[in-house]
Structure 1
């Protein structure tokens, strides 16, 4: 039996806390034995969980012999990580312990330095904040979860369940994971690369970024067939400098930002108009309906038609 330690810090989001408890707690092996012993660990006697105070049997010392540590989301992702928590997580990582985060649990995870240089994700609404706070990370706001082997990160609570099922599949195989998914009334088919359903009004750029005027210009010119040369000329900088500074401020390249902005505008049009898919694709700047469909599905995870049926 493997051991999962769910580390509850002050401000822990109850739903994010319950996600790994539910997933790993429901896991049964083919002979009926539980697959995991699940422990809720706290850094002190009591933890503030918003509507209630949480007490747990295990402390930070229980992280030392855990096979997996899960960091649930926190209501205040900017809260400083306590030194004893940081040391306990780093010590566990040095022993090879697998560590995963759900939603804004990526913030205390990143504060340990263990994610430096890695591609990660978090809830899309906090992605720009995470990228600004930890510029050494490559923050991808468009996926459900990212598996770096020992270290894994996921988006919101529902994506956290996807990540838990993914780890169960890694540990015990697809049959056990599928059985757990059925018990959780959850499909097993959502892979990590599927996109988060991002609200189209939000763009992955921090407020006050020096490129904010450029982002506004790009948003106003989505229908044009812009090239990297066009964007660099408007920004009055070289392409190399543009790409470097743009990535520092947004976490993506100018063309990636442009494609995502086009898809978000297409989402809005699919929700609010009855325009044809072909017309919407042309309106937001894709050269052909085929290109639009391919890019939309790659970014959102479903076709434009399926998206419209779900959200119109």
Structure 2
């Protein structure tokens, strides 16, 4: 989709908001970056009671627009909510419901998903939020199909994301939907973040290795594997690099990474393939080889199973035409 007229983005601020989380949609949709003529967004930050709004940084910010902007905004964004145990006001929930009912695009970034869920906007839909509050969300909103294994979710006109970095991914995805890969990739480079990954499809979360489970024993093996992803890799090789038995390595790897070695390796190779499809003109056979897949047939099967889209269709949808 390409927006041909000014598109209003309303971002909701509230007491004790995180300035970092507020800045994510403001930066992606509001700053005058390259080719601004192709990004006609009018960004407005609003709040329930105009005036000085306290922030988590210890100083207030002045917000001059009230929630009435939600009556006409094209996109409504709720950044990470301050605390899932603190309910949103009736006024805010009703304003969000009205915006959704008239067809506005609704976005809940990180804990902002709790607010959309409380408003009933996520009922019957699939949604995600920060993994720390995954159990709380799933228990509190049983009508929502909760998925904690994704970076963000595209439900057509309703979007939710995991934590801070995923909020950036989600906003870049919206920018890509509106104006294509060239603009989104340009903004990502300006922000010095990774190129946007597609949403509305299965995403893999690269979990950091927790230090409290002696994960330093895994690091040499994982570092080596990341440098050799295009080669045939076996769990026995990594266990050897870690000076562990296959059984102990498998157990510790799953505990540390939250997934099996086989699934982790597949996700790394699919990420490489995504990047090549977006940024290169290589044919599918070459991309399969450079991503570490044994054949183009296996690559196509795994890619389709993971993202519900073929590599060729993915490239057509998300390919950047800018020189790399």
> Which runs of no fewer than 5 residues in structure 2 stay unpaired?
1-5, 223-235, 254-258, 273-324
Note if 1:198 corresponds to 2:218: no
Partner residue in 2 for 1:277 = 238
Aligned residues: 237
Query: Contact between 1:120 and 1:139, CA under 8 Å: does it hold in 2?
Result: yes
Aligned to 1:49: 55
* Structure 1 unaligned blocks of 5 or more: 202-264, 307-312
Q: CA deviation at 1:126?
A: 1.2
Aligned partners of 1:27 and 1:180 also within 8 Å: no
* Helix, strand or coil at the partner of 1:96: coil
Name the CA distance, whole Å, in 1 between partners of 2:206 and 2:77: 23
Counterpart in the other structure of 2:157: 150
* Number of the residue aligned with 1:184: 191
Cα separation, 1, equivalents of 2:158 and 2:215: 32
CA deviations 1:126-150 (Å, max 9, x no partner) are 1111111112222222211000011
TM-score, length-scaled by structure 2: 0.65
**Structure 1 residue 296, shift from structure 2 partner:** 2.0
Query: How far is the alpha carbon of 1:166 from its aligned partner?
Result: 0.3
Normalising by structure 1, what TM-score? 0.67
What is the aligned counterpart of 2:268 among 288, 299, 302? Answer: 302
Structure 1 residue aligned with 2:91, among 76, 84, 99? 84
RMSD: 3.1
Instruction: Describe the shift of the 1:297–1:97 C-alpha distance in structure 2 as closer, same or farther (beyond 3 A).
Output: farther
- How far apart in 1 are the matches of 2:182 and 2:158? 24
Q: Secondary structure at the match of 2:268?
A: coil
Structure-2 change in CA distance of 1:138 and 1:267 (3 Å): farther
Partner residue of 1:16 out of 16, 21, 27: 21
Residue 25 in 1 paired to residue 30 in 2?
Answer: yes
SS of 2:156's equivalent?
coil
Change (3 A) 1:32 1:126: same
Change in 2 beyond 3 A, CA 1:189/1:61:
closer
Alignment of 1:71 onto 2:71:
no
| 1:10–1:74 Cα contact (<8 Å) kept | no
Asked whether the 8 Å contact 2:28–2:171 carries over to 1, the reply is: yes
Distance 1:281 1:139, change over 3 A: farther
